Structure 1
Amino acid sequence: MSDLSRKTIAVLATTGFEDAEVSQVKHAVEQAGGRVVFVAPRDGLITGRRGTSYAPDMVTADVDAASFSALVLPGGVSNADQLRLDADAVNLVRGMMRAGKPVAAICHGAWILTDADVVRGRTLTSSPTLRTDLVNAGATWVDEEVHIDDGTGVTDGATTGPLVTSRTRTDVDAFNAAVVEVFGR
């Protein structure tokens, strides 16, 4: 197993997140020794679709990419839709990708990547409902349990960090294994 003991991993979420895509990745990162920090657009409890709640450690207006080793973008349609409307959340995603730091998105979590304009030349997977959005933003979409894009296909040089993506919560075990492996590099 990879060692994440010197890593601070941000989980960017708001109310409406997919519970398993947060709780299980949090557990996997912590089991590997990493520290999880919850980032949300506002203070106050955020609640998942199935009732799991977390208090954010930080708000998007107060963070930058330099604060974190890696970033996780969980799904949940409402969660993803709200986050992509938050300019500070979009800037955090863009900053992480431009700094070459690993980013992992599962299900609808990949939606914000289109708003951050960081998928051109990348290969990724997601909820099948995002396929057209991602392709229109310049990505190659694949139907795989988990996909790791190491950034070698990017031609603009601006978004070269590793990108881990998965389709849905049914793929969360493969997603978590890839997150721990890639974040531990």
Structure 2
Amino acid sequence: MPDKQLTGKTIAFLATDGFEQVELTKPWEAIKEAGADVVLVSPKSGTIQGMNHDEKADKFTVDKSIDAVSAENYDGLVLPGGVANPDALRMNDTCVDFVRDFFKQGKPVAAICHGPWTLIEADVVKGRKVTSWPSLKTDLTNAGADWVDEEYVCDQGLVTSRNPDDLPAFCKKAIEEFAEGVHAEQSA
């Protein structure tokens, strides 16, 4: 029987069209198996399009519109990558505010691959050690982050990872951080 260390917790996944499918589905499955309720939040209603690199994959039904949610109602946040997904999210002020609110409340956030683009827009990476898809290194460094090339990095409740190959370690660490809960040292 799997460890249900996230029982009673609700984790938001923020995504829109163009997310890397496995970067949503693998954490979703792992976090759900750990006992959490998971909610797909998007600026779009209906369905959003997953991707397998540059090929269309499956469509996923959105649970909640970004306009109908508050970070106060969630215990943590996952930001999957893909190129189009975080690029669209970082251009949406409501999505950026939603992400920033998790940091203001000291709640854990997990972002993989290109997901940290949205963190840059939320202005929450300055002074933090992070990793990402290599092409974001300059963006993250320019935003004040300490970028490293590691399987995953955890800095005061922020878990970042590079790519789908890192998903097992990313999921494990994200679950640990979600189980731990609010981080007193984390600030926006």
Question: How many pairs were matched up?
Answer: 174
Equivalence for 1:10: 12
TM-score (norm 1): 0.92
CA distance in 1, matches of 2:160, 2:64: 24
Query: In structure 2, what residue type is equivalent to 1:96?
Result: F
1:53 & 1:100 partners in 2: Cα distance? 32
- Amino acid corresponding to residue 178 of structure 2 in structure 1: F
Cα shift at 1:52: 2.2
User: What corresponds to 1:145 in structure 2?
Assistant: 151
Q: Which runs of 5 or more residues in structure 2 are unaligned? A: 181-188
Give per-residue Cα distances to partners, 1:76-106, cap 9 Å, x unaligned: 0001101111111000000001110000000
For residues 132 and 61 of structure 1, the distance between their equivalents in structure 2, rounded to whole angstroms, comes to: 31
Question: Following the alignment from structure 1 to structure 2, what is the Cα–Cα distance between the partners of residues 170 and 15?
Answer: 22
SS in structure 2 at match of 1:53: strand
Counterpart contact for 2:11–2:38, Cα < 8 Å: yes
Contact kept, 8 Å, 1:2 with 1:184, in 2: the verdict is no
Question: Quick one: distance in 2 between partners of 1:2 and 1:174?
Answer: 18
Partners in 1 of 2:92 and 2:65 — Cα distance?
11
2:138 equivalent among 132, 136, 148 = 132
Cα distance in structure 1, aligned partners of 2:159 and 2:169:
10
The answer to whether the 8 A contact 2:4-2:33 is kept is: no
**Greater strand fraction, Structure 1 or Structure 2:** 2
CA offsets, 1:4-59, max 9 Å, x none? 01110000001110111111101000110001000000102101113122111111
Residue 20 of structure 1 aligns with which residue? 22
TM-score, length-scaled by structure 2: 0.90
Where 1:52 maps in the other structure, the secondary structure is strand
Q: Which amino acid in structure 1 is aligned with residue 164 of structure 2?
A: R
The residue number in structure 1 matching 2:48 is 46
Contact 1:64–1:92 (Cα < 8 Å) also in 2: yes
**Displacement, 1:67?**
1.2
State the match for 2:186 in structure 1.
Answer: none
Distance 1:104 1:149, change over 3 A: same
Unaligned runs of 5+ in 1: 151-161
Query: How many angstroms apart in 2 are the aligned matches of 1:53 and 1:32?
Result: 24
Q: Determine the C-alpha separation between the residues in 2 that align with 1:165 and 1:45.
A: 26
Q: 1:111: which partner in 2?
A: 117
Segments ≥4 residues shifted beyond 2 Å:
none
Distance 1:65 1:138 in 2: 24
Structure 1: how far apart are the matches of 2:132 and 2:114? 7
Distance 2:77 2:4 in 1: 16
The correspondence of residues 18-97 of structure 1 with structure 2, limited to 5 A, is 18-50=20-52, 51-97=57-103
| CA distance 1:15–1:3, change in 2 (3 Å) | same
Structure 2 residue aligned with 1:176:
171
Amino acid at match of 1:46: I
Partner of 2:184: none
